[in-house]
Amino acid sequence: MSIRFRLLFSLTSVVIVSVTLFMLAAYLLSVAATGDYRSVRSFYTIHYSLHPLSEEEESIFLDLKYLAKHDPAKLTDPALLQDYDFQLKMVQAGLLVRKNDDLLYATPNMKEADFARALPAYEMGNYRIRETMNVGSRFFAYAKFDFYFDAAQTEKGSIFVIRERSPFAEVVRKMLPVLVGLFALIVLLTGIVLYRYVTRKIVLPLEGLRKSAERIKEGDLTEELRATTKDEVGQLIASFEDMRRRLQESIRLQLQYEDNRKGLLSNISHDLRTPITTIKGYAEGIRDGVARTPEKLEQYANAIHTRASDMERMVEELFYYSKLDLNKEPFTFEDTDIAALVRGFVDEHAIDFERAGIEIAWEPLPEQLVIVRADREKLKRVVRNLLGNSIKFMVNEPKRIAVGIRVDEPHGQVTVMIADNGPGIKAEALPLVFDRFYRADDSRTPGTGGSGLGLAIAKQIVEGHGGTIAARSEEGQGTSIYFTLPILQKRR
């Protein structure tokens, strides 16, 4: 059974049950009030017994009653009676005057034979002035007054101000279809309104959810679902959307890992093949006696050694990178003054820079100690990789590397900058330099050789410290690499 049908079914039954209960309650209430199981009908007659006449009719009745009491003789005057009858006709009522057993006067349309018989008996005490009566199939409400025409009290008379009402059965016959129709209409309208409301708020969103689940099943995770309400259905959709987004993200990551793995394999095989081919070539040279002189032999041996060392370094870097990548390389943090660390490293290698003809230009260092939580060896490795790149790619004269350490007070960070005046990095390559194995094309030439892992390792390490790393470069002008670490504290 679909929700739509259930809904329609339950709404209809609720309305029907409530209407039935309502009518039953009304019936029981009237029985309780009157003590009569036919009470609905008696309510109807009692109502007219209490108020048979309208106000105008009542006042005419009182006039006639006054005459009956004080001047009954006048009630035999047809002209006067006609006058009163006329007045009553104006308000759609009639007049009857009875003398003994004869009708002295009757409004024309009440002159039937059974009318005379239906009239109540004399009751000189006038206890029941207001009443109803049935004449054939017609139903009347009236006010009556009994009196004597003569002082000797022999001539009995009655005046009736009388008005026809629809009999109960007819009222019911007329009203019932209208009422039933009305109820049915209310049922229908309520049903339609609620049905539409619930359909819009529940069924349609669920339908959307189902379609989305179907799409996901078929592997399409792109379509976004939006919850329009905050109710249970809205929450369900929001959770579903959250799940979809995570699934999409995890699939994206998985694909990326897969891509990475493929790239890694092809890079490794490519980068290892080159030195291996070279080594093989030199080894063959030695074996085939191409290197005949001791100098040649030494040259070949050195070349083999260099390539083997390159390979060793590359394998080491690869191993190190993959350990960082898999979080298998533990960090040992110590509170460290970042300026002292950078300065110390540069000073240690001062002779190497001098030999390479490179001038190190220091920007003013912070005046106080800037303490960061650092794995010193790893941070030194970052600085070495950055300086190493600057040196490796350096072409312009004078060779100059600027080193700066700046405190970013509001963000509680310190930024280390290493900037060279080398060839720079092409704008399109700039976002890629931190990717593992990425090397801008020209640097893939031997001579500058490298694994393309230097910056990737630097990035892993800096991020392991809760920091960020970025590069800025302009082709032909030089490259600046910035890495930023959170400051632990500052000391004078």
Ligand X SMILES: Nc1ncnc2c1ncn2[C@@H]1O[C@H](COP(=O)(O)OP(=O)(O)O)[C@@H](O)[C@H]1O
Q: Which residues bind ligand X (CB under 6 A)?
A: 385, 389-390, 393, 420, 422-423, 425, 433, 438-440, 443, 450-456, 479
Binding-site partner at residue 390 among ligand X, Mg ion, none, CB < 5 to 8 Å by type = ligand X
Least Å distance, CB 268 to Mg ion, is 17
479 lies in the binding site for Mg ion (CB under 5 A): no
DSSP H or E run through 334? strand 334-337
Distance CA(229)–CA(247), nearest Å, equals 23
Q: Which stretch binds Mg ion (CB under 5 A): 199-207, 339-347, 404-412, 442-450?
A: 442-450
443 lies in the binding site for Mg ion (CB under 5 A): no
Nearest-CA neighbor of 388 among 344, 449, 338, 446? 449
List % helix, strand, coil for the chain (3-state, nearest 5). Answer: 55, 20, 25
Distance CA(166)–CA(189), nearest Å, equals 32
Structure tokens at 302: 């050195």
Binding-site partner at residue 393 among ligand X, Mg ion, none, CB < 5 to 8 Å by type = ligand X
Least Å distance, CB 330 to ligand X, is 23
Q: Which residues of 464-481 are buried (b: 16+ CB within 10 A; e: fewer)?
A: bbebebebebeeeebbbb
Complex with ligand X: residue 162 or 457, whichever CB lies closer: 457
Measured from the Cβ of residue 308, the count of other Cβ atoms closer than 10 Å reads 14
Give residues 154-183 in contact with Mg ion (rule: CB under 5 A): none
Complex with Mg ion: residue 7 or 481, whichever CB lies closer: 481
Measured from the Cβ of residue 123, the count of other Cβ atoms closer than 10 Å reads 12
**Total residues contacting Mg ion (rule CB under 5 A)?**
3
Complex with ligand X: residue 164 or 325, whichever CB lies closer: 325
Distance CA(463)–CA(466), nearest Å, equals 5
Three-state SS at 131: strand
Least Å distance, CB 200 to ligand X, is 57
Distance CA(12)–CA(17), nearest Å, equals 8
Closest residue by beta carbon to Mg ion: 454
Binding-site partner at residue 423 among Mg ion, ligand X, none, CB < 5 to 8 Å by type = ligand X
Least Å distance, CB 298 to ligand X, is 28
Least Å distance, CB 481 to Mg ion, is 11
Complex with ligand X: residue 58 or 435, whichever CB lies closer: 435
Least Å distance, CB 280 to ligand X, is 23
Binding-site partner at residue 451 among Mg ion, ligand X, none, CB < 5 to 8 Å by type = ligand X
- 191, 449, 454, 478: which one binds Mg ion (CB under 5 A): 454
Backbone angles phi, psi at 243, to 5 degrees: -60, -45
Least Å distance, CB 421 to ligand X, is 10
Angle at which helices 376-393 and 454-464 cross, to 10°: 150
Distance CA(163)–CA(244), nearest Å, equals 78
Least Å distance, CB 443 to ligand X, is 4
Q: Which stretch binds Mg ion (CB under 5 A): 17-25, 44-52, 142-150, 452-460?
A: 452-460
Least Å distance, CB 267 to ligand X, is 11
Binding-site partner at residue 404 among Mg ion, ligand X, none, CB < 5 to 8 Å by type = none
Binding-site partner at residue 336 among ligand X, Mg ion, none, CB < 5 to 8 Å by type = none
Complex with Mg ion: residue 107 or 389, whichever CB lies closer: 389
Least Å distance, CB 435 to ligand X, is 8
Three-state SS at 138: strand
Binding-site partner at residue 420 among Mg ion, ligand X, none, CB < 5 to 8 Å by type = ligand X
DSSP H or E run through 110? none
Binding-site partner at residue 479 among Mg ion, ligand X, none, CB < 5 to 8 Å by type = ligand X
Measure the CA angle with vertex 412, ends 406 and 413; round to 5°.
40
389 lies in the binding site for Mg ion (CB under 5 A): yes
Least Å distance, CB 285 to ligand X, is 28
Complex with ligand X: residue 374 or 433, whichever CB lies closer: 433
Binding-site partner at residue 107 among ligand X, Mg ion, none, CB < 5 to 8 Å by type = none
Residue type, 315: V
Distance CA(98)–CA(76), nearest Å, equals 10
- The answer to whether residues 363 and 402 touch, using CB atoms and an 8 Å cutoff, is yes
Binding-site partner at residue 68 among ligand X, Mg ion, none, CB < 5 to 8 Å by type = none
Distance CA(144)–CA(247), nearest Å, equals 91
Structure tokens at 257: 């890992």
Distance CA(245)–CA(234), nearest Å, equals 16
Closest residue by beta carbon to ligand X: 450
Contacts 24+ apart (CB under 8 A), 196-203: 198/7, 199/4, 199/7, 201/229, 201/231, 201/233, 202/3, 202/233, 203/3, 203/4
Q: Which residues bind Mg ion (CB under 5 A)?
A: 389, 450, 454
